[in-house]
Structure formats: structure tokens, C-alpha cells
Structure 1
Amino acid sequence: MTDRPAHLNQVQLARRWHLSPRTLERWRWLGQGPAFLKLGGRIVYRLDDIEAFERAQLRTPPSTAEVPA
């Protein structure tokens, strides 16, 4: 078993991504960002969903060979 947490709360995720917790609130309101759970009055994000969202945001820069000079 690992010491890896299964969930992060809003503040923990905001720290991980160097965002304001309010940004995560706005994303939830707009239907953006990673999937989340609402447990009673608490919002938590599953680590698996966070990592899937991060992978989906991965962009690679265009090759310099493809850029016209």
C-alpha cells in the first residue's frame, strides 16, 4: 500500500496547480476542470480524475521543422 492520498480537497488541488481555490470553484460552476465528488458539504477530487485531467491537457509544441521560416 502507498502513502498516496486517494482524494485532494480544493485547497490541496489549488496548491498542486498553483491556482486560487476560487478558480476551481469557478471551473465547477462553469462545468470545467476535473470531475469532483460532493460529499455532504465537502468537495473532493479523486487523484485518478486529477491525473486523467492533467493528461488530457498535455500539449506538445509544433516541431521546428513544420514552422515556416
Structure 2
Amino acid sequence: MSERDELLTPKQVYAEYGFSPQTLANWRWMDMGPDYIKQTPGKGGRIKYKRSAIEAWLESVTVKTGGAAA
């Protein structure tokens, strides 16, 4: 696994990108936000995010200025 594909916990995502663990949980529930990995089954399963998935998601939701209205 490359450094870019480092696995981050929701707390690490919060520390680096500012999205709280609760926001990430809400996004998962609403089937939106960055792709994630569920490492264990069930409601309390451990969640991790690939850094590359977060970066790709951020790029996909970035609104380009000077283009069509958002």
C-alpha cells in the first residue's frame, strides 16, 4: 500500500480534513461522502478511509469557478 493509500480512522480524517466522525457517519448513512472500508461487520464495525478515496471525493465535489452555475 502506498503512502497515498494510507488508511485513516474517522478521527484521523477529522484531524487532517476537518470532517467530524459524526458527519462522516451521517454521510455513510445517507450513502454519500467519500468511499470507505468497513473492517468488521455489524453496526459497530470499524471504519477506515483510504487517503486517496478522500482526495478523489474532494476533487469530485470541488466547484470550479467561472463555469456553469452550481
TM-score range, shorter chain: 0.7 to 0.9
The structure having more radius of gyration, on CA atoms, is 1
1:43 aligns with 2:50: no
Q: Which runs of 5+ in 2 are unaligned?
A: none
| Root mean square deviation of aligned Cα | 2.2
- State the percentage of identical aligned residues: 32
Q: Report whether the alignment pairs 1:61 with 2:61.
A: no
Aligned residues: 63
Q: TM-score normalised to the size of structure 1? A: 0.74
- Between the aligned partners of 1:60 and 1:51, the Cα distance in structure 2 is 16
Residues 39, 46 of structure 2: 8 Å contact kept: yes
- Deviation track 1:12-47 (CA, whole Å, cap 9, x = no partner) reads 112222232100000000001011001012100011
Regions of 4+ moved over 4 Å: 2-5
When normalised by structure 2's length, the TM-score is 0.73
Q: What does residue 22 of structure 1 align with?
A: 22
